Amino acid sequence: MLMEIMLVIAAYLLGSVPTGLLLGKAFGVDIRTTGSGNIGATNVYRTLGRNVGVMTLACDCLKGLIPVLAARCFGLPDIWVAAAGFAAFFGHVYTVFLGFKGGKGVATALGVFLGISPLAVLVAVGVFAIVIGQWRYVSLASISAAAAMPLIVAFIDRRPLIIIMTLLIAALVIWNHRENLGRLKAGTENKFKA
């Protein structure tokens, strides 16, 4: 039990590492004071360009993937795999290093889901691609993929604890996009430019 608890704590701390902020500072920019002020990959992409945005996305994704893979490598049951994944995601959204204010969690959730159900991620990425291709809004694509993910996981994996974790993560991702939803409704949301 001690090992499992330590893994969950480590997952939270890993998830809490503010990748976008650290990469931004490496380029002389406090990402919290530019663009949307968010520390996530989309704001980094818009502010510092494609390369740094992709690096942020990859690092944030790894923060979710590593704890889940560790839990699976240790042969832990679903409850601990789910706890480690959720802790990493929660750490990104409520990072201890920034006064419990973090990113929206999309990339870290992606990493968690890659470790749990790669096939479900493939379907959700398809949803994301269709929405962004049609409407050019990263926020709408992220919300759509998050909303679809619990249904996809339920259909593909059918593991109750994993489905519950997926529901919790999806709900928080959508909640974290509430301001984006307001801007989408008002017609003031920024479109994605490749």
Closest residue by Cα to residue 95 from 45, 20, 149? 20
Q: What is the pLDDT of residue 1?
A: 86
Q: What is the pLDDT of residue 194?
A: 67
Query: Which ranges of 98-159 would DSSP assign to H, the alpha helix?
Result: 106-116, 118-135, 138-156
3-state DSSP assignment of residue 161: helix
pTM for this one? 0.95
Query: Which ranges of 17-105 would DSSP assign to H, the alpha helix?
Result: 19-26, 41-48, 50-73, 78-93
Residue pLDDT, tens place only, 101-138: 999 999 999 999 999 999 999 999 999 999 999 999 99
Residue pLDDT, tens place only, 146-182: 999 999 999 999 999 999 999 999 999 999 999 999 9
CA-based end-to-end distance of the chain: 47
